[in-house]
Amino acid sequence: MTVEADPVGVESRLVSGGLGCPGCAGGVLRPWGWARPRSVHGIEVVLRPRRARCAECLITHVLLPVTVLLRRAYAAEVIGAALVARGAGRGHRWVGLALEVPAATVRGWLRVMAGRLEASRVHLLGVARLAGVDGRAGGAGLRVAGPAGRVGRGDGGGEGPVRAVGGPRSGDGVAGGCGVFGWSAAGPGLAAAGMGAVGNTSCL
């Protein structure tokens, strides 16, 4: 399941019984060791996610931060940057070079997403509204930093406006449902919007 990016906050909620089980009604997650360490492209440190077990149904869950997606070796921000670049007209080979990702991998992301554009658009706009982001068309757009900003500009540096989603910018991350962008609103973000922990179901 997906939790916030702050490991201290996650541990505090886990120990205090503040994380509910996503698989059963009324279950509370308790600490249950750690998952295996993993390297994720786009994340500087080696991740070792917390593992938790429900006191009711006894099912275990790996608590993944919103900066990564389930069963993906690339950070959510990297995948999001590839999608933004494609929306700006860039091809998968150019995107792969810019993000240091194999072109075939980028092409796979784009093919999957091409069949889910409308569903993803609706989902992401809903997330943006919950996070307090103004997603109205015709606005000035939001500026993003990191990989998304570099690819968005197409010149390899600085920040760039992103209007396609009309929402989040680079930061702690947005995930859940078909969440693919590792950005969070400049405002209160998902945790304050009541979405601090959601099921991690990657669409890509």
Please give the Cα distance from 75 to 111 (Å, whole number).
18
Length of the chain: 204
Please give the Cα distance from 132 to 165 (Å, whole number).
14
Cα-only R_g, the chain: 17
pLDDT in tens, 37-75: 999 999 999 999 999 999 999 999 999 999 998 888 999
pLDDT in tens, 129-146: 887 776 564 444 434 444
DSSP code, position 47: B
Map out the domains of the chain as residue ranges. 2-65, 76-192
Nearest to 177 by CA among 192, 197, 193, 198: 198
pLDDT in tens, 181-204: 333 322 222 232 233 333 443 445
One-letter amino acid for residue 68 of the chain:
V
pLDDT tier for residue 170 given thresholds of 50, 70 and 90:
very low
Three-class DSSP category at 51: strand
